Structure 1
Amino acid sequence: MKIITTKTVSMALLGVLVTACDGKDGRDGVDGADGMDAPVMMDTGSGYDGSAAEAAGLAPLAGGRTAEDIAVATLANSNALTGVASGTPLNIPTAGSDFATAPPSVGADVPVTYFGPAPSSVNPNLIGPYQLLKAGNLDLAASPNTTITLPLYEGRLESGGTNDGASLWYVVTDTSDKENAAALGLNFSAKLRFTDLPDGMLSQTVRRGYYDADGLLVFASGAVDFTPERVVSPGSSDSSGTNNLLASLTFAPGAVGSAGDSDDGLYSPLVQISNAGGHIYNAPMVSFNTSAEQLAPYCDGISAEEEASARALLHDKVVAICPGAAGEPGSVTLALTNGFSFGRPVLYISTDASAEIAASLEGAIYTPALAAIPVGRDDSLFSGVERIFGFTNGPTNDFDEVNPQRQGFNSAIRGEGGPLNVLGGIPTIATDYSPLWDLNLGEWTQAAVDLGYRSRMTEEFAILGMAERGFITGPGGSAYGSTGIIINCPIVHRLL
């Protein structure tokens, strides 16, 4: 019996790599930097003619006999994807399919049904899919966007202003109350405690509220106008080099929250509930000053004919809304956004943003009050935010095919899919989660584009490394860091 040592295998693999780089058939060495010949595979044989590959229907490989033996064995024994030529993109039918995770059976000798459950089913901190916002029902098969259906809550405004007494409808996604988060299936965020500014300060970021004897949440301030028509109109489609399509964008948010100088007071998705331990809840509004009768027609969804009238009443993320009848609970179905967190694909909801351009792009409520939350502090003491990373000029689709490296606002503005932003810490991966994301907007430099370094980024520290090396800057070559824009994006699901 012939024993193959680790050293033998390593030299064999090295030989395959070297001869493949040389572009020859494995019979000749190449000169190294020190003038010595690179290792040569001993079993290629000077007379090897590629017959094994030819017999298997493969083209001769540059790695010689060893490389071809491996390829032939793989073809014979594996159920890996077939019919895909090397270097040829798969036919990806829809934008967003480039985001889907591959099954573990790819390249294996057994189908996916023979694989055990994901490790995340045993421990949520391990790899695998895991629903983080458990308060709702997730629909990963929904099209064109995945959705989550959450409990719909009714509230009342008690502002003393123009809309005093108005009914309102909201969802709850996050809280600073750890025990109640676990009980209700919400996301827990300790950082929400640091978003509140004391009464009497010039700017406020958190509304006040209390629940009454009927369990109705009464808000002390905040109205939202859902009647504006959302506008996102690009002035250019040229995404080459460092071009930034955001610079020529015409935009208008589809919903606007009241500011602090309104007679109804400020709107914020954040509310401190006085008789619930003073905890802060993330309670974005989905409809304002509407009755159950006005919402009932959209219980089964919004048709194309109803789109315009529905959008004048509802948040742009609403896919269906049903207030319930005869004591039945209400529900609302919201469209989700694709992104990444530390290399893992995730889904989140975009509900509010502190800047008009961000609210327009995200289909969120323009919420001026969020701009008062301090940014740039990331995970330091008293920081209420976590970072989200976006790109102006990431890779776009070319040649009428979905580019598996596609990412960024240029791509989104061109209608190729979402921007695939990268989130910082989320529950089960990190301890610093906040639904309030401090936007760090990056631009790939021309040098990075020319050198081929521009690619899809999925992990915070890889992005920071590229910024440190000067391949990513702020827009227009400015310093990299916070844009000052806050986006309320509660995390929903982790796909891996």
Structure 2
Amino acid sequence: MRKHIFAVLLVAPLLLWNCSDSDDDGYTPKDSGLNYEMAYQEMVKLMDSYKEDSGKELFDPGAPSKFTEKQNVFMSNAISIKLDHTAPTVTLPVFKGEGADGGEVYYIITEASDYQIAKRMGINYSPKLKYARGSQGVQLVTLNDSGRMKFKGKVDFSPVRRIVPGDGPFAFPPKVAEPGAIGDAEYSPVVVLPSGLVMNATPLKNATGLHDRLPEGQQSIDTDKMEATLQILDGFQNGRAYYYHLVTDAYDNVPATIELGIYAPRLGKIPQFGQSTLDQESALLAFSPVGNGITGEADPMRQGLNSAILSDKNGSGADAPLDPINVFPIEPANHQIDNNYSPLWDAHINRWTDEAIQQNKRRRITSFEDLKSLIKAGWVTSFTPDAGPENPYVGGLHASNAIINCPVIAHPYE
């Protein structure tokens, strides 16, 4: 494919910029596992292939934002977003790649491990992703002669999603959880290019079918315009609702089924469960789903995995289940220094204690600070205390050993 002169001229100063130890945001350490020059060449090829397929530039970082400050959209290259709180969606650029079988794969890129590349492509910056490099949890990819990503792993979108509530006192954990998409042993959305660049790249369409997060099926993805409209989910962060994120994949079949993601067992090999602070070399970041919160679709305090399962009327996802409304610690501010964001969320499932339920203490948990105070008071504890390590970052809750790939899209101010 012909290389655009404009793209080459654009990349040259960025290469020099990233070779320094600092920029206008301050000091940032080098990524010793990344070949910067090769990574920018890969970026140019990806952006050129997108332009060839769509007829437009992927993103212009110098152009005025499409979004208002109040909308607080983190994914700068998003084409549009609907924030009506009833059926929120985001429309993102779609790339065309090559599958392991040589067929076409249409996918999205939501994060990159390098600041300048993320900034230039208009995606989220996640430096923690570099800690996935070298693990068995990633998928090694290349770019073909057309500059399109060539995948080793495959995703089967043909299964019919099915979930059956559990027989215990709560619907969670479910008795049956059969996800609507299954990745093979080679598949991971965390891809590593030859330069060492780590990206979050999830397929939405191939010969077997479509991702369940496309609300109108085939009508939600346009392979001429190279864009797709996806359902986004609500959550809480820092006391504020409408922390909109996109569930794309999960390591465990249960969250993959509940949240309409791809079951990606290879994700479970990405280090390290139960480690979340900036100084820990983990690609994961803790968040906390509620296991047994209040149910009832009209209840303003509704929250939790139990509630989401019960809202899935026929168990097939034909009518999208209600969001679990999980609790998250930080936003992807996309700044270069002291950035602890990762889309690979390490689930620490919490539960209200029997005493809390008996004393009518249950309500919505709205922040990590709120969660920690409830743990300290003895009203909330770990749902899976024997699964993974205790994590002080989440008030001492235990990791549930489930990774959910949730790129964060926006957190609008109300």
Question: TM-score scaled by structure 2?
Answer: 0.72
Report how many residues are paired: 319
SS of aligned partner of 1:251: strand
Please report how far the alpha carbon of residue 433 of structure 1 lies from its aligned counterpart in structure 2 after TM superposition: 0.8
Counterpart CA distance in 1 for 2:325 and 2:191 is 29
Q: Which residue of 1 aligns with 2:324?
A: 419
Contact 2:384-2:400 at 8 Å conserved across structures: no
1:215 aligns with 2:147: yes
Query: In the TM superposition, what are the counterparts of 1:353-364 in structure 2 within 5 Å?
Result: 353-364=250-261
Q: Decide which structure has the larger Cα Rg and report it.
A: 1
Counterpart CA distance in 2 for 1:387 and 1:143 is 25
Residue deviations 1:310-343, cap 9 Å, x none? xx6000001311110xxxx411111111111222
Counterpart CA distance in 1 for 2:251 and 2:121 is 28
SS of aligned partner of 2:209: coil
Counterpart CA distance in 2 for 1:141 and 1:377 is 32
Query: In the TM superposition, what are the counterparts of 1:359-438 in structure 2 within 5 Å?
Result: 359-373=256-270, 374-379=272-277, 380-397=279-296, 402-415=298-311, 417-428=322-333, 431-438=339-346
SS of aligned partner of 1:134: coil
Please report how far the alpha carbon of residue 489 of structure 1 lies from its aligned counterpart in structure 2 after TM superposition: 0.2
Contact 2:142-2:150 at 8 Å conserved across structures: yes
1:135 aligns with 2:33: no
Counterpart CA distance in 2 for 1:406 and 1:154 is 39
Q: Which residue of 2 aligns with 1:226?
A: 157
Residue deviations 1:55-111, cap 9 Å, x none? xxxxxxxxxxxxxxxxxxxxxxxxxxxxxxxxxxxxxxxxxxxxxxxxxxxxxxxxx
SS of aligned partner of 2:266: helix
Please report how far the alpha carbon of residue 139 of structure 1 lies from its aligned counterpart in structure 2 after TM superposition: 3.0
Q: Which residue of 1 aligns with 2:204?
A: 286
Counterpart CA distance in 2 for 1:121 and 1:190 is 26
Could you tell me which runs of 5 or more consecutive residues in structure 2 were left unpaired when the two chains were aligned.
Answer: 1-66, 312-320, 391-396
Q: Which residue of 2 aligns with 1:267?
A: 187
Could you tell me which runs of 5 or more consecutive residues in structure 1 were left unpaired when the two chains were aligned.
Answer: 1-119, 123-127, 199-203, 260-265, 291-311
Q: Which residue of 2 aligns with 1:167?
A: 104
- Choose which of 357, 360, 372 in structure 2 pairs with 1:449: 357
Q: Counterpart amino acid of 2:120?
A: A
| CA RMSD, 1 decimal | 2.3
Residue deviations 1:456-487, cap 9 Å, x none? 01101221222233211222776831100000
- Choose which of 162, 166, 177 in structure 2 pairs with 1:251: 177
Counterpart CA distance in 1 for 2:141 and 2:367 is 38
C-alpha spacing 1:477/1:436, structure 2 compared with 1 (3 Å): closer
Contact 1:348-1:489 at 8 Å conserved across structures: yes
Q: Which residue of 2 aligns with 1:157?
A: 99
Overall identity of the aligned pairs, in %: 30
Counterpart CA distance in 2 for 1:343 and 1:268 is 32
Residue deviations 1:295-314, cap 9 Å, x none? xxxxxxxxxxxxxxxxx600
Contact 2:349-2:384 at 8 Å conserved across structures: no
Counterpart CA distance in 1 for 2:352 and 2:163 is 23
Counterpart CA distance in 1 for 2:153 and 2:384 is 36
Please report how far the alpha carbon of residue 453 of structure 1 lies from its aligned counterpart in structure 2 after TM superposition: 2.2
Please report how far the alpha carbon of residue 451 of structure 1 lies from its aligned counterpart in structure 2 after TM superposition: 2.7
Contact 2:158-2:181 at 8 Å conserved across structures: yes
Contact 1:426-1:432 at 8 Å conserved across structures: no
1:462 aligns with 2:370: yes
Counterpart CA distance in 2 for 1:133 and 1:366 is 24
Taking CA–CA contacts closer than 8 Å with sequence separation of 6 or more, which of the two structures ends up with the larger relative contact order? 2
Please report how far the alpha carbon of residue 170 of structure 1 lies from its aligned counterpart in structure 2 after TM superposition: 0.6
Please report how far the alpha carbon of residue 145 of structure 1 lies from its aligned counterpart in structure 2 after TM superposition: 2.1
Counterpart CA distance in 1 for 2:174 and 2:343 is 29
Counterpart CA distance in 2 for 1:197 and 1:210 is 16
Please report how far the alpha carbon of residue 208 of structure 1 lies from its aligned counterpart in structure 2 after TM superposition: 1.6
Question: TM-score scaled by structure 1?
Answer: 0.61
- Choose which of 111, 126, 129 in structure 2 pairs with 1:189: 126
Contact 1:191-1:384 at 8 Å conserved across structures: yes
Residue deviations 1:154-212, cap 9 Å, x none? 11135xxxx3x2321110000112112111210000100011225xxxxx111122223
SS of aligned partner of 1:171: strand
